[in-house]
Amino acid sequence: MAKTMQEVRYVGSYPSISSCPKDERPEYAFIGRSNVGKSSLINMLTGRNGLARISKKPGKTQMINYFLVEKEWYLVDLPGYGYAKISKKKRREWEIMIEGYLQHRRTLACAFVLIDANIPAQQIDIDFMNWLGDKQVPFIIVYTKTDRLKPAEVQPNIDRIRATLLEHWTELPQEFVTSSVQKVGQDDILGFIDGVNKGI
């Protein structure tokens, strides 16, 4: 079982990697389509209900947000992609910021790509993961909102998403199944991060 978090602290929000913390701690970035449940997942993982903003309006995360966990590693909350109602200019600025971070941040240990388990695989998710693969950015798939499905529906839904993704990949990266409401996946993800940190 993953250890309970004793200390989680918001460090700051940054517009580019040049302004991000420079203390060389490992970083784990969370990203997904707008409204995929990212803020809820971050709050669940850290056990802090108000840590990341939760909003029915997509696009609330607009910079690279850093949270220091146990003084050992950073949880990085990246802006969502997809549905946010913002101008094309602003959207492109976000894309440049996110792409710059993911490609060039030396201390990035892994990105967690969030996918809604309730709906079919979305082309925007496929395109984004293909981009990560092309750029050789290590990433994990996290299925979210599984509490909205009946237990017998969760695995078949995930299997359908997985089948679509495998049309583009010969094999998939590691996956975690989560529910922020039921706290499913909390120990698995934190245990994974703890294991990576011990190997660094």
What residues does 114 pair with on adjacent strands? 32, 142
Return phi, psi of residue 7, to 5°: -145, 120
Residue 3 falls inside a structural domain = no
In single-letter form, the type of residue at position 113 comes to V
Residue 199 falls inside a structural domain = no
From 105, 111, 194, 183, select the one nearest 144 (Cα to Cα): 183
Residue 173 falls inside a structural domain = yes
Residue 16 falls inside a structural domain = yes
Residue 182 falls inside a structural domain = yes
Please tell me the distance from the alpha carbon of residue 101 to that of residue 26, in angstroms, as a whole number.
Answer: 14
Return phi, psi of residue 188, to 5°: -65, -45
How many domains does the structure of the chain reveal? 1
Residue 126 falls inside a structural domain = yes
In this prediction, residue 110 carries a pLDDT of: 97
Handedness of CA 4, 181, 153, 169 (dihedral sign): negative
In this prediction, residue 34 carries a pLDDT of: 84
Residue 42's domain comprises: 8-194
Residue 12 falls inside a structural domain = yes
**CATH code for the domain in which residue 171 is found:** 3.40.50.300
Take residue 199 and report the two structure tokens written for it. Answer: 């190997």
For 188: left if phi > 0, alpha if psi spans -120 to 50, otherwise beta; the answer is alpha
Residue 47 falls inside a structural domain = yes
| Longest Cα–Cα distance in the chain | 47
Alpha helices, DSSP H only, in 51-173?
A: 88-104, 123-134, 151-165
Mean pLDDT of successive 10-residue segments in the chain (200 residues)?
70 93 97 92 90 55 89 94 71 87 97 96 93 95 95 93 93 96 95 94
